[in-house]
Structure 1
Amino acid sequence: MSQPTPPPVPPAGNPYAGEPADRPPVPQQGVPQQDAPAAPQGAPQPGFPVAPFAPAAPARGNFALGLAAALGAGLVSAVLYGIVIGLTKHEIGYAAVGVGFLVGIAAGRAGGRSQSLPVAGVIFSVAAIYLGQLIGEAMIIAKQVGVGFNEVFFDHLGFVQDSWKADADPLTFVFFAVAAYVAFQSARKAGL
């Protein structure tokens, strides 16, 4: 019968490098040793080039910046939505969703984790939809009457609002609700 052999004992050094067990491992240049203190997180590591500047951290929790971004996005998207309505002579639901999305994303990305920004996004998106519909209505009236948009919108805004009220149907208010929901959700998710 054969006798069992004892399992091999691994050498003290690196078993895969083939170093003899009686010689200590050779430290490699640029690699910190285990007994060396670790550098703090974010500190430049030895052997790596240091960038001349660090990128700015995104603003988190800046309510005023988020509010300003939501207002700006609301104004821009209201004008674009109004132009779409004026050119097509129809309210387009996807455009209303786009208004809510743009306002919410702008509020969340610029303002961060503020709990009030999704609510502000809802308010600004509904106001942007309303302003966009008034702009579209004024464009349609200006084409029908043959006068300039500025004269209709700024000099006869009461007539434009009365015309909007006469043309408003339940689908108009569905667009308000959808845009508000999209603005709330996108501001909440973008602020994470």
Structure 2
Amino acid sequence: MSQSAPPPQPEQVGAAQPAQPAQPTQPFQPTPPVSPYIAQPGAMPPPMPAAPRKNNVAVGLITAVVAAAVVAALYGVVIGATKHEIGYAAVGVGFVIGLAAGRFGGQNPALPVVSAVLALGSVYLGQLIGEAVIGADLLNVGFNELFFQHFDIVQEAWKQDADPLTFLFFGLAAFAAFSGAKKAAA
């Protein structure tokens, strides 16, 4: 068997060395490894993570109201052009309102409820706009005249045309707005 040599010792030549005061030991701190992926000068920095959403109810409400007005007008034009109510369009109305409220308003629990109420109003307004577009064509009058000066006639026409499917579209739009606001805020 062979024995291993003892580790080398500091020089002990001749005289004894003066005693040095003991220095406090520090814990071992390894040096960070050098990454082969160090950014070169002029390189794009890595993307920053998205900031967490804040509960900004005012911005969410304003955005949802604006979205409700825009999609109500679009829904009314679609109804006027096709002369039919379209269920997918009512769902789209609700979803767009909910998406706007949740995306810009955050996770406030009031926003899905407000979105559903706005969706109901937006679908109703869109259906009234559609009735006015259809009525204006039939009566050979302008849309503005019929809608703004004879709104009672437009509402009466809506009441006569309303059927169970009309109210189903209200429910679908409200549900889409509620769930859209929840999903957009998550």
**Smaller-chain TM-score bracket:** 0.7 to 0.9
> Does residue 1:35 correspond to 2:30, yes or no?
yes
* Cα RMSD, aligned residues only: 2.3
Verify: 1:143 aligned to 2:137, yes or no.
Answer: yes
- 2-side partners of 1:183 and 1:50: how far apart? 39
Match of 2:80 among 71, 76, 86: 86
In structure 2, which of residues 89, 97, 108 is the aligned counterpart of residue 103 of structure 1?
A: 97
Question: What does the per-residue CA deviation read over 1:36-95, in whole Å, with 9 as the maximum and x for residues that have no partner?
Answer: 69xxxxxxxxx54685x9787364211011111111111111011000000011000000
- SS of structure 1 residue aligned to 2:98: helix
* Match status 1:153 vs 2:143: no
| Among candidates 102, 107, 113, match of residue 113 of structure 1 | 107
Q: 1:76 to 1:58 in 2, by over 3 A?
A: farther
Equivalent residue, structure 1, for 2:163: 169
1:35 Cα deviation after fit: 3.5
SS, match of residue 30 in structure 2: coil
Number of aligned residue pairs: give it.
151
For 1:164 and 1:184, the matched residues in 2 are separated by 25
The runs of 5 or more residues in structure 2 that have no matched partner are: 1-27, 33-37
State the Cα distance separating 1:189 from its structure 2 match.
Answer: 1.2
Unpaired runs of 5+ residues, structure 1, are: 1-32, 38-46
One-letter amino acid of the structure 1 residue matched with residue 132 of structure 2: A
Q: Which has the larger radius of gyration?
A: 2
Q: Which residue of 2 aligns with 1:30?
A: none
Q: What's the % identity of the aligned pairs?
A: 55
Q: Which amino acid aligns with 1:136?
A: G
**1:116-153 deviation line (CA, Å, top 9, x unaligned):** 00001001111100000000000000000001100000
SS in 2 for 1:101: helix
Q: Which of 1 and 2 has higher RCO (CA within 8 Å, sep 6+)?
A: 2
Q: Please give the TM-score of this superposition, normalised by the length of structure 1.
A: 0.72
Moved over 4 A (4+): 47-51, 53-56
Alpha-carbon distance in 2 for matches of 1:93, 1:119: 21
Give the TM-score of the pair, scaled to structure 2.
0.75
User: What is the identity, as a one-letter code, of the residue corresponding to 1:155?
Assistant: Q
Aligned partners of 2:80 and 2:118: how far apart in 1? 21
